[in-house]
Amino acid sequence: MESQAVRAAMVRKIQGQGITHPGVLAALQSVERHRFVDSALVNQAYEDTSLPIGLGQTISKPGVVARMLELLCQGRSDKLGRVLEIGTGCGYQAALLSHLAREVYSIERLKGLHEKSRENLRWFRLSNLHLLFGDGMLGYPKGAPYAAIIAAAGGNDIPAAWIDQLAVGGRLVAPAVTAAGRQNLVVVDKTPTGIVRTELEAVLFVPLKSGVA
């Protein structure tokens, strides 16, 4: 497959959805999404659709991933510092983050997916990406504080551990169930004077769970 041209078409479509951050667009162009999906689904790798990756999980739509990454990088032209990703999944978003941050810690609670993402990412040789197996709801205190935290699963609220591990001046982007009972994209900014929470559009992510499996 002429993946570069197909990827360029995907990036143009995402630009058409309003994504403008140059770093995010460059990462989407450079990371080969087809390396993260099962061979039977390779023809759909660059469509703006979520795809199954096994164990009841999915690889998110590229458009949604781009939206969350742009929110994370908003107002910045330089790279993010240390970033924590909750839910490695197949490793696609972790690979994108490695282009946007100086250091990335990505944690996955399902052993099968942790191993799959390690296999998928080996080809890319990303020296600034650390894959962890563990309970993402607890975050990863050893790497804290983080300039940014991003989650690929939505719970009833944002776990306190994540807020604690966010640096002052840092930003968290995650799906969460809001007071209206729907899952929305939530942005949390940790300012010197406290927490600012902004609820954005409705989204549909797999549920956030605790423990490992």
Q: Residue 191's Cα: distance from chain center in Å?
A: 22
Dihedral sign (CA 143, 35, 172, 182): negative
Active site residue 60: yes
Torsion angles phi and psi, residue 178, rounded to 5: -95, 180
DSSP assignment of 24-92 equals HHHHHHHS-GGGGS-GGGGGGTTSSS-EEEETTEEEPPHHHHHHHHHHHHTT-SSPEEEEEEE--TTSH
Specify whether the CB–CB gap between 153 and 205 falls below 8 A.
Answer: yes
Catalytic residue among 60, 98, 106, 117: 60
SS3 labels along 137-193: HHCCHHHCCEEEEEECCEECCCCHHHHHHEEEEEEEEEEEECCCCCEEEEEEEEECC
DSSP H/E element including 115: helix 111-122
The SS3 of residue 109 is coil
Among all residues, which ones are annotated catalytic? 60
